[in-house]
C-alpha cells in the first residue's frame, strides 16, 4: 500500500499511480501530513490498516514534509502495537542538488539527519564529481547512515525496506583519530568499564560515559536515555561559561544533542562561540567535550553543572 501526500490540492501523483493496477494507493492532497494535515494522515493510516490490512505501507510525504514530525506521529501511542516504522529514505537528485542547497535549506538537513538510507538518484545524469561530493558529505553525517546508495528512477533493492528505523549510533560525536598512539593517564574510577581520571558525580538518571586520552587530547562523552529532559537555558549558560570559567580551562570543542522538552536541540561551542538550534535527532541525549591533555579542567565541577541542567 502506498500513501502519497501532495502539497497541492490536486492529486497528480495519485492519478498517475492509479493507472498501475499492481499498486494500491491512497492520496492525501491539499496539505502536508507533517503539519496541517496531521489529523487526516492519522485517520488515513487507521483506515488503511482496517480496510486493507496491508503487509507494508510506503509513505511519500511532500517535498516540504518534516520527516522528524512524521516519525513522531508514527511512534505515538495511538499507533503502538499497530505498526513498526522501518527504513526512512532520503532521495536526492544528485544531478541538481549541491552542498550549498543542503546548507541553505533546513528541510534538507532534517531529511538527511533522520534518514536511515540516502539515495542519490539520477546518478546517470550527474557528473562523477557531483556524485562523489554528495557521497562524501552523506558518509560524514551524524547519525551515520546505514547506506548511501546511487540509483536511477529511485530503484533500490527490496531488502533495504526491512531496516528498523532507529538512528542507531554507538559512536561519539567527534570521530576518533585515525592514529591509535595511546597516552597514559591516572585512572581513579570506572564507569561501565571505562576508566575515568576523576571521581564521577552521581546523576539522578542512568548515564553512560565514554572517555579516552590520545595524542594530547581527552574526549569525555555522556549518553542519557531519551526520557531524560534538560533545561535549555541552563545548558546554554553552561556552554557559554566554557569561555570564561577558570575551572573549564583547556576545552577545545563541545557539542551535544539534548532533549529540552518535546524537541531536541543541538548545542555547540567552538572558536569561543556558543550556539544552539533545533535538531530532528530523537534517539537519546548525548554530549561530548574535547579537552587538551595536561590542563586543569575540573571534571567534577563540569558534571555538577551538567547535573543542575536536568529537569
> What is the DSSP secondary-structure string of 175-237?
PPPS---B------EEETTEEESS-PPPPSS-EEEEEEEETTEEEEEEEE-TT--B-HHHHHH
Q: Return the CATH architecture of domain 2-162.
A: 3-Layer(aba) Sandwich (3.40)
Q: Would you state the pLDDT for residue 30?
A: 59
% helix / strand / coil in the chain, to the nearest 5? 30, 25, 45
How does residue 11 score in pLDDT terms, banded at 50, 70 and 90? Answer: low
* Residue 182 confidence (pLDDT) above 70: no
On average, the pLDDT of the chain sits at 82
Mean local confidence (pLDDT), 103-121: 89
Residue pair 137/99 in contact (Cβ under 8 Å)? The answer is yes
Q: Would you state the pLDDT for residue 297?
A: 93
How does residue 240 score in pLDDT terms, banded at 50, 70 and 90? Answer: very high
* Residue 175 confidence (pLDDT) above 70: no
Query: φ, ψ for residue 165 (rounded to 5)?
Result: -80, 100
What's the fold here for domain 189-308? Hypothetical Protein Yjia; Chain: A;domain 2 (3.30.1220)
All CATH 3.30.1220.10 domain ranges of the chain, comma separated, are: 189-308
How does residue 204 score in pLDDT terms, banded at 50, 70 and 90? Answer: very high
How does residue 85 score in pLDDT terms, banded at 50, 70 and 90? Answer: confident
Amino acid at each position: 500500500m502506498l500513501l502519497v501526500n501532495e502539497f497541492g490540492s490536486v492529486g497528480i501523483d495519485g492519478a498517475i499511480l492509479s493507472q498501475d493496477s499492481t499498486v494500491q494507493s491512497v492520496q492525501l492532497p491539499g496539505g502536508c501530513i507533517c503539519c496541517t494535515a496531521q489529523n487526516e494522515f492519522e485517520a488515513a493510516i487507521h483506515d488503511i490498516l482496517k480496510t486493507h490490512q496491508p503487509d507494508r505501507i510506503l509513505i511519500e510525504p511532500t517535498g516540504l514534509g518534516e520527516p522528524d514530525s512524521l516519525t513522531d506521529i508514527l511512534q505515538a501511542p495511538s499507533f503502538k502495537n499497530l505498526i513498526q516504522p522501518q527504513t526512512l529514505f532520503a532521495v536526492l537528485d544528485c544531478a541538481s542538488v549541491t552542498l550549498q542547497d543542503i546548507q541553505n535549506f533546513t528541510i534538507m538537513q532534517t531529511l538527511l539527519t533522520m534518514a536511515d538510507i540516502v539515495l542519490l538518484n539520477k546518478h546517470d545524469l550527474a557528473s562523477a564529481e557531483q556524485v562523489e561530493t554528495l557521497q562524501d558529505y552523506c558518509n560524514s553525517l551524524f547519525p551515520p547512515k546505514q547506506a548511501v546508495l546511487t540509483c536511477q528512477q529511485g530503484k533500490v533493492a527490496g531488502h533495504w525496506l526491512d531496516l528498523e528505523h532507529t538512528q542507531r549510533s554507538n559512536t561519539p560525536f567527534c570521530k576518533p583519530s585515525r592514529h591509535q598512539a595511546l597516552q597514559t593517564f591516572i585512572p581513579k574510577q570506572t564507569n561501565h568499564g571505562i576508566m575515568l581520571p576523576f571521581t564521577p558525580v552521581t546523576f539522578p538518571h542512568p548515564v553512560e560515559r565514554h572517555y579516552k586520552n590520545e595524542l594530547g587530547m581527552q574526549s569525555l562523552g555522556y549518553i542519557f536515555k531519551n526520557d531524560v529532559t534538560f533545561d535549555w537555558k541552563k545548558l546554554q549558560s553552561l556552554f557559554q561559561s566554557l569561555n570564561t570559567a577558570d575551572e573549564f580551562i583547556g576545552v577545545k570543542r563541545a557539542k551535544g544533542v539534548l532533549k529540552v522538552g518535546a524537541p531536541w536541540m543541538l548545542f555547540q561551542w567552538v572558536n569561543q562561540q556558543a550556539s544552539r538550534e533545533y535538531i530532528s535527532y530523537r534517539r537519546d541525549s548525548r554530549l561530548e567535550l574535547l579537552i587538551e591533555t595536561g590542563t586543569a579542567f575540573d571534571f567534577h565541577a563540569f558534571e555538577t553543572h551538567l547535573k543542575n541542567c536536568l529537569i
